[in-house]
């Protein structure tokens, strides 16, 4: 098993491009950590440094207490699963899974036992004699997982492994990967730009941007207590809504004010924003934090006009024009609205996010994620 630590790690290429700057990260033994961010944020570079596929330019990389900067990839006891599957087309499923073990000189009986055990876990037993072209995308991905599984590595590294699958298969494969982690009790590091994968798989999410870690936390912490507008915007479907406005005092209450909208902040939030009255802020309101069933109350109501109604199965997305902004909310499919209709929505003020208008930093976040 392995605990991974990156200490002030940087990665700079010969052309001068810096993919990572002073990155520090600790991955506990047996954890499932997801590196999440847009293309070019440095998440795949981080994974490649851990794997030994690229060299660390500065800083130090440790497995447990052993520094790994110059340890070659084949001596790191890691197994990697790629987006492309990378299966040998002329070899059977059995031989694809067994290939790495044969190259390392494992006895034939040990190889057979490991391959068949992996095939049983991944429901590939009936497919062992087939070639990759005879398999579906999900089956090929399970073969790629099996090839890594038989290695019994200390660390599993996965780089966008499900991005080539359709939506239904991705959901099924997420469940398989989660079960695999729980069974193996091995360290998993998983790279994705898909928020749904991060939220469903991870014990801990690392949100990255331009080679810099923005926030580290559990899925609940990242979603409920984002450190800045970038993190808040990266999670949520539809994305979080923003309204620029000002914090004002009305009697003993602290409010968010924008035009005719005045939302009274609950006592717990007001305490954390004590002394901030008069400050320009950006209000964050997630798509699910409105309700039409509740009776609208002063200080908790958003008035606007429905601009679009988009059914999405069990829910529907409302395009909603309010205070000069187009907002999007997710509501139940039983609500019947027409385009152009004026509607009053109750806002869950206990779940509001408040960010500085200039920096985008949360005014409610603290170093412990609270």
Asked whether residue 363 is domain-assigned, the answer is no
Query: Of 185, 210, 228, which one is at a domain's C-terminal end?
Result: 228
Q: How far apart are CA 7 and CA 43, in angstroms?
A: 16
Q: What is the DSSP string of 277-318?
A: TT-EEEEEE-TTSEESSSPP-TTSEEEEEEEEEEEETTEEEE
Asked whether residue 367 is domain-assigned, the answer is no
> Of 229, 231, 271, nearest to 357 (Cα)?
229
User: Do residues 216 and 250 both lie within one domain?
Assistant: no
Asked whether residue 368 is domain-assigned, the answer is no
Asked whether residue 369 is domain-assigned, the answer is no
User: Do residues 253 and 112 both lie within one domain?
Assistant: no
Average of per-residue pLDDT values in the chain: 92
Q: How far apart are CA 362 and CA 370, in angstroms?
A: 11
Q: Which residues of 7-28 are buried (b: 16+ CB within 10 A; e: fewer)?
A: eebbbeeeeeeebbbebebebe
Query: Of 228, 248, 281, which one is at a domain's C-terminal end?
Result: 228
Report the number of distinct structural domains present in the chain.
2
Which is more confidently placed, 266 or 82? 266
pLDDT tens digits, one per residue of 9-32? 999 999 999 999 899 999 999 999
Q: Which residues of 155-176 are buried (b: 16+ CB within 10 A; e: fewer)?
A: bbbbbbbbeebeeebbeebbeb
Provide the sign of the torsion angle of the four alpha carbons 257, 261, 262, 265, taken in this order.
negative
Please name the residue that has the structure tokens 């802020």: 281
Asked whether residue 34 is domain-assigned, the answer is yes
User: Do residues 195 and 280 both lie within one domain?
Assistant: no
Asked whether residue 364 is domain-assigned, the answer is no
Asked whether residue 366 is domain-assigned, the answer is no
User: Do residues 184 and 266 both lie within one domain?
Assistant: no
Q: Which residues of 229-251 are buried (b: 16+ CB within 10 A; e: fewer)?
A: bbbbebbbebebbbbebbbeeee
User: Do residues 213 and 246 both lie within one domain?
Assistant: no
How many Cβ atoms are within 10 Å of 71's Cβ, its own excluded? 14
Mention every residue, 6+ apart, whose C-beta is less than 8 A from residue 328.
Answer: 238, 239, 241, 287, 317, 318, 319, 320
User: Do residues 190 and 317 both lie within one domain?
Assistant: no
pLDDT tens digits, one per residue of 123-145? 899 999 999 999 988 888 889 88
Asked whether residue 22 is domain-assigned, the answer is yes
Parent domain of 194: 4-228
User: Do residues 159 and 275 both lie within one domain?
Assistant: no
User: Do residues 247 and 113 both lie within one domain?
Assistant: no
pLDDT tens digits, one per residue of 52-77? 999 999 999 999 999 999 999 989 98
User: Do residues 152 and 278 both lie within one domain?
Assistant: no
Q: What is the CATH number of the domain that holds 211?
A: 3.40.50.300
Q: What is the CATH number of the domain that holds 317?
A: 2.40.50.140
User: Do residues 281 and 312 both lie within one domain?
Assistant: yes
Percent of the chain exceeding pLDDT 70 equals 98
The continuous run of DSSP H or E covering 357 comes out as none
Of the candidate ranges 85-89, 199-203, 315-319, 332-336, the one whose mean pLDDT is the lowest: 332-336
CA 158 to chain centroid: 13
User: Do residues 39 and 120 both lie within one domain?
Assistant: yes
Query: Of 228, 252, 277, which one is at a domain's C-terminal end?
Result: 228
User: Do residues 197 and 345 both lie within one domain?
Assistant: no
Q: What is the arithmetic mean of pLDDT over 38-42?
A: 93
Which three-class secondary structure state does DSSP give residue 369?
coil
């Amino acid at each position: 098993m392995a605990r991974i630590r990156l200490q002030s790690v940087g990665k700079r290429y010969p052309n001068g491009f810096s993919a990572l700057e002073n990155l520090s990260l600790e991955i506990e033994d047996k954890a499932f950590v997801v590196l999440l961010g847009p293309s070019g944020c440095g998440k795949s570079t981080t994974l490649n440094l851990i794997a030994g596929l690229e060299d660390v330019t500065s800083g130090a990389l440790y497995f447990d207490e052993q520094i790994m900067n110059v340890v070659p990839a084949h001596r790191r006891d890691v197994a990697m699963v790629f987006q492309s599957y990378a299966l040998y087309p002329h070899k059977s499923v059995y031989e694809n899974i067994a290939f790495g073990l044969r190259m390392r000189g494992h006895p034939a009986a040990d190889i057979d036992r490991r391959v068949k055990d992996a095939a049983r876990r991944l429901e590939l037993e009936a497919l062992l004699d087939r070639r990759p072209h005879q398999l579906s995308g999900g089956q090929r991905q399970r073969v790629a997982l099996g090839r890594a599984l038989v290695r019994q590595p200390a660390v599993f590294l996965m780089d966008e492994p499900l991005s080539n699958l359709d939506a239904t298969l991705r959901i099924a494969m997420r469940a398989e990967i989660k079960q695999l982690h729980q069974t193996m009790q091995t360290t998993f590091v998983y790279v994705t730009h898909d928020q749904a994968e991060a939220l469903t798989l991870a014990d801990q999410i690392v949100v990255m941007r331009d080679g810099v870690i923005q926030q580290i936390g559990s899925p609940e912490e990242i979603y409920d207590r984002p450190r800045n507008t970038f993190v808040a915007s990266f999670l949520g479907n539809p994305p979080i809504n923003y309204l620029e406005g000002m914090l004002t005092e009305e009697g003993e209450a602290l409010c968010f004010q924008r035009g005719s909208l005045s939302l009274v902040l609950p006592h717990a939030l007001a305490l954390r924003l004590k002394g901030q009255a008069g400050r320009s802020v950006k209000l964050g309101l997630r798509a699910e934090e409105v309700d039409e069933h509740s009776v609208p109350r002063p200080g908790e109501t958003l008035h606007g006009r429905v601009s679009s109604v988009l059914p999405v199965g069990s829910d529907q997305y409302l395009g909603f024009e309010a205070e000069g902004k187009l907002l999007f909310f997710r509501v139940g499919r039983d609500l019947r609205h027409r385009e152009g209709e004026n509607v009053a929505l109750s806002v869950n003020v206990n779940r509001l996010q408040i960010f500085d208008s200039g920096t985008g930093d949360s005014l409610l976040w603290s170093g412990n994620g609270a």
